[in-house]
Structure 1
Amino acid sequence: MAEVVGGLAVFAAVIAVGWALVRTGAVDRRADTVLTRVCFFAATPAFMVTTLAEADLTAVLSAVTAACLGAEMIGIVSAWLVHRLVLRTGVAEATIGALASGYVNAANLGIPVLVLVVGDAAPIAPVLLLQLLVLTPATFAILDTVTRRGNPSRLATYTIPLRNPLVLSVVAGTAINLGGIDLPGVLGGHLHELVDLLGRTAVPLMMLALGMSLAASRARPPGEPAPAAGTSRGLADDGPGQGRGQRLALGMAVAWKLLVLPALALGLGLALGLRGGALLVPVTTACLPTAQNVFMYASRYGAAKSLARDAVLLTTVGFVPVVLLAAALLG
């Protein structure tokens, strides 16, 4: 427990450095965009290649994986039903609400948090594949149908996951592992040195980018008008008639993400015979905050944008005590 707290404190310090760099003007307020793209296209894929190339894949494809994937799927489907049938939102809004309730930040936070809490990022790979190869195309299909605002080229839309660097890196790392390729022996070891060097920058760059993003979200460039009254926190900017219903949907999504999803992971893990550290993996994965992808999807289709944005923010702030509690009870 003390190690987890200490590790989270270090992460918080790195995030604070990123925040301070933007707030003091040492770097441009849009610098987080650059770092995020470096992570997305280079550092994180390199990290996933080296991690999976050296991982015990029999341990990855196990009851732990089943608990991780099962909890997320059950959580998202059940959340959709609650948003649609209980809160009586539209299909598009229910879809975004369901994703806000269960689509986890597997890359930018999942990798460093799993490294910190359980010492291994390999279990996050199946979650990444589920989200990028199954949930994302399904989301596009639903939102394309009900909003008619998708990419005119459906082929281009639905093949986006297949062109995602994270998907390609997971496939490459798994192929290297299954093929028995000795990566350190390729090209005299220089290729491994390159990939390993890039991969080791992933976690600190992610944390710096997060801190910069938090600072940039609070800073407005000179001359930019203040947000209109009632929209500064994003709780009523999706159109008329939101108000209380929007806040209720947001509260439900946040509670589902931080409480229901970890409880589902705990229950499934116990049912599958997981205990101790093994059980901590799916619970920690379920505790991860809502991914920023959800806000991108909401923005693209013009559905429940404020709910998605606020869910990302609130679950990012709120997941730390949940992870600490899980580590204290199961670690």
Structure 2
Amino acid sequence: MAGIAEALGPLFLLILLGAVLGALRIPGGDFWTRMEKLIYFLLFPAMLIATLARADISRVPVVSIAITLLGAMAVFSALLWWARPRLGLTAAAFTSVFQGAVRFNTYVGVAGAAALHGSHGATVAAVALALMIPVVNVLCVLTFIAAGTLGRSGFWKSLGALVQNPLILACLAGIGLNLSGIGLPGWSAGSLELLGRAALPLGLVAVGVALRPHALLRRDLGLWVSSLVKLVLMPVLVLILGWVFGLDRVSQDVALLFAALPTATSAYILARQLGGDADLMAGLITAQTLLAMLTLPLWMRLVGS
């Protein structure tokens, strides 16, 4: 347990540092809003390209990881839609519950994989992201459409955002450079690596800044249902699927890590733009991030990381 605490503890401290900075409004103004955009549109895509372009993908059981993670995501997506009438949620609230259950915090995931298993863990995490990011974005947009929270303009806006998603484009670029044999020629490798190094620490601090403790005052069934799926039931199913498909130690750890991650802070922006319940989404992000500081080490301890 000490090894897990040493690996994940610094990540959580950076998130808590961000929460303190956000509460004290340091440095103030729209600094963190602009910083989040820099991380999302430049630093994190640079890290994904640098990792995927040079990754030895032959060492990663791509098919088994895809079936494990995407299979679990598909199962709980279907179950949530089946349970929707029984939960008594409004359309807007359901879209936030759905996002809370299937989205994942990429910054915590990649940082955790690297902390636990070094460069190979980061490579497996990057492959997992390349598989999951397009699928989870499509599922969430389809949920907004099916729930009826989008107008005609909202549909085209969401479709445009999906096509231009910088993380999806970065994954495609990194895999393309890898498979083509081009890799990262000249100084591009060093430049992208330097940019990528800044993504995770700044991303973790930004996660903390985005927390909204006051949103926890809202007592909502959807908050607890979504958190139960994301932090408990999803990891259980991924553990079972990982065992069935014979994932190796590192791949199993990374798959479990991604299954047990709290939801993404970017889900709040999507909820606000596409007709979701933004207040509920803020509560989900805050509750899951804080709870994951307890549940995530416990899950990793369970598999003996």
**Counterpart of 1:70 in structure 2: which amino acid?**
G
Post-superposition CA distance 1:144-182 (Å, at most 9, x none): 454354352744431322211111111111111111124
The match for 2:215 among 225, 233, 251 is 233
Which residue is equivalent to 1:279?
252
**Counterpart of 1:122 in structure 2: which amino acid?**
T
Q: CA deviation at 1:123?
A: 3.3
The alignment yields a C-alpha RMSD, in angstroms, of 2.6
Describe how 1:63-82 pairs up with structure 2 within 5 A.
63-82=64-83
**Counterpart of 1:194 in structure 2: which amino acid?**
S
Q: CA deviation at 1:88?
A: 3.2
Which residue is equivalent to 1:197?
194
TM-score, normalised by the number of residues in structure 2: 0.86
Q: CA deviation at 1:312?
A: 1.1
Retained in 2: the 8 A contact 1:147–1:301? no
Rg larger for: 1
- Residues 1:171 and 2:144 aligned together: no
The match for 1:262 among 235, 246, 261 is 235
**Counterpart of 1:248 in structure 2: which amino acid?**
L
Give distance in 2, aligned partners of 1:267 and 1:326.
Answer: 13
Which residue is equivalent to 1:289?
262
CA distance change for structure 1 residues 42 and 86 in 2, over 3 Å: closer, same or farther?
Answer: same
Q: CA deviation at 1:198?
A: 0.3
Which residue is equivalent to 1:229?
none
Describe how 1:139-158 pairs up with structure 2 within 5 A.
139-144=140-145, 146-147=147-148, 149-150=150-151, 152=153, 154-158=155-159
Give distance in 1, aligned partners of 2:22 and 2:289.
Answer: 19
Q: CA deviation at 1:116?
A: 1.8
Describe how 1:1-331 pairs up with structure 2 within 5 A.
1-23=1-23, 26-28=26-28, 30-58=30-58, 59=60, 61-82=62-83, 84-105=84-105, 107-119=106-118, 120-125=121-126, 127-129=128-130, 132-144=133-145, 146-147=147-148, 149-150=150-151, 152=153, 154-183=155-184, 186=185, 189-214=186-211, 217=212, 232-233=214-215, 247-274=220-247, 276-330=249-303, 331=305
Q: CA deviation at 1:285?
A: 0.8
Q: CA deviation at 1:125?
A: 4.1
**Counterpart of 1:322 in structure 2: which amino acid?**
T
**Counterpart of 2:245 in structure 1: which amino acid?**
L
**Counterpart of 1:205 in structure 2: which amino acid?**
L
Give distance in 1, aligned partners of 2:209 and 2:99.
Answer: 25
Give the % identical residues: 26
Structure number having the greater helix percentage: 2
CA distance change for structure 1 residues 265 and 112 in 2, over 3 Å: closer, same or farther?
Answer: same
SS of the aligned residue for 2:27 comes to coil
Retained in 2: the 8 A contact 1:280–1:326? no
CA distance change for structure 1 residues 174 and 6 in 2, over 3 Å: closer, same or farther?
Answer: same
Retained in 1: the 8 A contact 2:66–2:131? no
Q: CA deviation at 1:313?
A: 0.9
Q: CA deviation at 1:98?
A: 2.3
Post-superposition CA distance 1:98-145 (Å, at most 9, x none): 22122222x222221222233323334455455543443443344345
Retained in 2: the 8 A contact 1:22–1:29? no
**Is there any run of 5+ residues in structure 1 with no aligned partner, and where?**
219-231, 237-245
Q: How many residues align?
A: 301
Give distance in 1, aligned partners of 2:183 and 2:130.
Answer: 24
Give distance in 1, aligned partners of 2:61 and 2:35.
Answer: 29
Give distance in 1, aligned partners of 2:63 and 2:142.
Answer: 30
Which residue is equivalent to 1:243?
none
SS of the aligned residue for 2:187 comes to helix
SS of the aligned residue for 1:175 comes to helix
**Counterpart of 2:181 in structure 1: which amino acid?**
G
Give distance in 2, aligned partners of 1:55 and 1:36.
Answer: 26
